[in-house]
Amino acid sequence: MKCDHCDNEATVREVTMKNGARIERHLCEQCAQQHGIGVQPQVSIDELIGKYVLPHVLGQAAPQTPKGNSCPTCRMGYAEFKQGGLLGCPDCYKTFENQLAPLIERAHEGATHHIGKGPRRRGGGPSPQASLTAQLQERAARLRAIRKQLDEAVKAEQYEKAARLRDELRKLDEANPA
């Protein structure tokens, strides 16, 4: 890809959000520096291993990411994430972990961990005990989510929706009483 300002090869990609619109620029290193975009030097594999892998292998804690109002790597603030809906870099997940956890939990109906499954006809699925445990966890999460929706519907005086949710809870209880 060519630089947006000259014919050199673009090595820097800048993505910004302004008024809800995503703006993307491709620049060479020289143009990026002229526009005030700092080009991070490449980190050697030895440095990465020493910083992130060895502490885990040796049982030491990994370096903590500061929990400030903005990501230390890309400088994105949580308000920018809320406005645009996109995080700036992988370190944003660590920086905004406390704020993102409830969002992820709500999006997955109360689940916090992925439970995968494989094709049953080839024996690639989880063990029967793990499968039962996963089903019970899914059922409990589903019940919690429906109860929460029911409470919200009642508070918002949406009685028709509340009645549908109540009926759904009854069906789940009748199908598999605890």
The two three-digit tokens of residue 18, written as one number: 């302004």
Q: Please indicate, yes or no, whether residues 81 and 50 belong to a single structural domain of this protein.
A: yes
**Which of 33-37, 110-114, 121-125, 174-178 is predicted with the least confidence, judged by mean pLDDT?**
121-125
CA–CA separation, 145 and 11 (whole Å): 46
Written as six digits, the tokens of 14 are: 């800048």
- pLDDT of amino acid 149: 92
Residue 75 in any domain: the answer is yes
Which is more confidently placed, 101 or 24? 24
Domain assignment of residue 68, given as a range: 40-107
Q: Contact at 8 Å (CB) between 145 and 137? A: no
> Do 102 and 145 belong together in one domain?
no
- Strand residues in 10-119 grouped as ranges (E): 12-18, 21-27
| Total structural domains within the chain | 2
Half-sphere CA count of 144, side-chain side, radius 13 A: 12
Domain closes at, from 75, 107, 139: 107
Backbone angles phi, psi at 22, to 5 degrees: -90, 125
Q: Are residues 53 and 95 in the same domain?
A: yes
